[in-house]
């Protein structure tokens, strides 16, 4: 029996960076299936991304998510609300759809869209949606001991990710994460 | 579905500060020489991204696909930050 959090749904911004990571297949150690909405599939174009997605759809690590009318309607409302909230960052429709699915099905939402992360923080109906950036994915791989942590260099995997993707983790979030790993994985007491 | 939205000003302030930090990093890392050499529409889209961090809007503005725009950001040394 699987829990809903054994499944994830990924948006385009997450996917197009994650595919460039040298250890990209590690994600399938965390999730039984990562769903890709049809709208996201339509946005990917580069050979490396399309090939990785195709191979993993074929092997069953990834699965296509066909959105239903109610989910698209909810996504539209998220997008509209995000644009009306003073000072909030806009959530675009593909990310909003992942949020709607995350709320309804309990899947982990994988996104690098700051608007989506902010929306889940600000809007009470979405406070329970689990939204992960690549940072949280890498942390979870360590915490669940799905990779060997080097206690002398706990930031190694994160730096590899930054190098491969040219994505930067906020220094404060990264140092907090590394501190948690040090306490949980490397402390002798 | 009707949302109950109570704006928590503390949270909003935190998010604004994070946005300001991210913008500063994008400005600092950007290869401005590369950006200045681009055609007007691409140059404007890159500057818009630096200021707003809105990748989909910037790609639309540049008239190119999202993935191609992400690649352009790498060439311009403009990081994505989350």
CB A102 within 8 A of CB A2: no
Chain centroid to Cα A6, Å, comes to 13
Give yes or no for residue B45 having a pLDDT over 90: yes
Task: Give this complex's ipTM.
Answer: 0.90
**How much is the pLDDT for A89?**
84
In this structure, is residue B12 part of a structural domain?
no
Residues of B in contact with A112 (CB under 8 A): 80, 82
pLDDT number for residue B72? 97
| pLDDT tens-place string over residues A5-14 | 899 999 999 9
Residues of the domain holding B48:
31-82
Question: Which pLDDT value is given to residue A88?
Answer: 80
Average pLDDT over residues B9-26: 90
Q: What is the enclosing helix (H) or strand (E) of A59?
A: helix A47-59
The answer to whether A90 contacts B53, with C-beta atoms less than 8 Å apart, is no
Q: Quick check: A133 pLDDT over 80?
A: yes
CA distance B68 to B51: 19
d(CA B37, CA B10): 41
Predicted confidence band of residue A118 (pLDDT cuts 50, 70, 90): very high
Average pLDDT over residues B32-41: 98
Residues of chain A with CATH 3.40.50.1010: 4-132
Residue B10 lies in a domain: no
Contact yes or no for A44/A12 (Cβ under 8 A)? yes
Banded pLDDT at A60 (limits 50, 70, 90): very high
pLDDT at A56 over 90: yes
Predicted confidence at residue A187, as pLDDT, reads 84
As a whole number, the mean pLDDT across chain A is 94
User: Is the pLDDT at A189 greater than 70, yes or no?
Assistant: no
Measured CA angle at A11 (ends A117, B5), to 5 deg? 35
**Domain made up of A4-132: CATH architecture:** 3-Layer(aba) Sandwich (3.40)
Q: According to the model, what pLDDT value does residue A87 have?
A: 75
Rounded to a whole number, what is the distance in Å from the CA of B20 to chain A's nearest CA? Answer: 12
Q: For residue B52, is it within any domain?
A: yes
Q: Are strands A7-10 and A33-37 parallel, antiparallel or unpaired?
A: parallel
Q: How confident is the model at residue B4 (pLDDT cuts 50, 70, 90)?
A: low
**Tokens found for residue A174:** 């990264």
Q: How far is CA A74 from the centre of its chain?
A: 20
Contact at 8 Å (CB) between A97 and A71?
yes
Write phi, then psi, for A31 (nearest 5 degrees).
Answer: -120, 140
Q: Please give the DSSP secondary-structure letter assigned to residue A151.
A: T
- Number of residue pairs across A and B with CB atoms under 8 Å? 94
Model pTM? 0.94
Report the distance separating Cα A174 and Cα A41, nearest Å. Answer: 30
Our count of domains for chain B comes to 1
Residues of B with CB under 8 A from a CB of A: 1, 3-8, 11-12, 15-16, 18-19, 21-22, 25, 29, 53-57, 65-68, 70-71, 73-74, 77, 79-82
pLDDT of the residue at B12:
83
* A36 φ/ψ angles, rounded to the nearest 5 degrees: -120, 115
- pLDDT per position as a tens digit, A67-103: 999 999 999 999 999 998 877 888 999 999 999 999 9
Percent of chain A with pLDDT over 90: 89
Interval B33-60 mean pLDDT: 96
Q: What is the pLDDT of residue B6?
A: 66
| Residues B21, A23, A143, A109, CA torsion sign | positive
Task: Report how far apart the first and last C-alpha atoms of chain B are (Å, whole number).
Answer: 29
pLDDT at position A58 over 70: yes
């Amino acid at each position: 029996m699987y829990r809903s959090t054994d499944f994830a749904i990924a948006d385009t911004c997450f996917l197009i960076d994650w595919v460039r990571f040298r250890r990209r297949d590690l994600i399938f150690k965390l999730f039984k299936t990562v769903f890709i909405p049809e709208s996201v599939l339509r946005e990917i174009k580069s050979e490396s991304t399309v090939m990785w997605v195709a191979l993993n759809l074929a092997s069953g690590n990834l699965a296509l998510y066909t959105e239903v009318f109610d989910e698209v309607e909810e996504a539209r409302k998220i997008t509209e609300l995000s644009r009306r909230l003073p000072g909030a960052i806009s959530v675009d429709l593909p990310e909003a759809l992942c949020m709607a699915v995350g709320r309804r099905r309990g899947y982990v939402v994988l996104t690098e869209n700051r608007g989506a992360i902010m929306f889940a923080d600000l809007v009470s109906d979405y406070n329970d949606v689990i939204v992960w950036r690549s940072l949280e994915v890498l942390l979870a791989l360590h915490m669940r001991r799905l990779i060997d942590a080097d206690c002398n260099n706990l930031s190694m995997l994160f730096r590899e990710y930054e190098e491969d993707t040219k994505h930067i983790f906020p220094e404060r979030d990264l140092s907090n994460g590394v501190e948690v790993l040090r306490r949980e994985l490397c402390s002798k007491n | 579905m009707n949302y109950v939205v109570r704006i928590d000003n503390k949270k909003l302030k935190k998010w604004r500060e994070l946005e300001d930090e991210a913008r500063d990093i994008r400005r600092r890392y950007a290869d401005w020489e590369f950006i200045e050499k681009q055609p007007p529409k691409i140059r404007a889209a890159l500057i818009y991204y630096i200021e707003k961090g809105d990748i989909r809007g910037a790609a639309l503005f540049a008239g190119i696909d999202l993935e191609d725009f992400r690649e352009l950001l790498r060439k311009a040394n403009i990081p994505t930050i989350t």
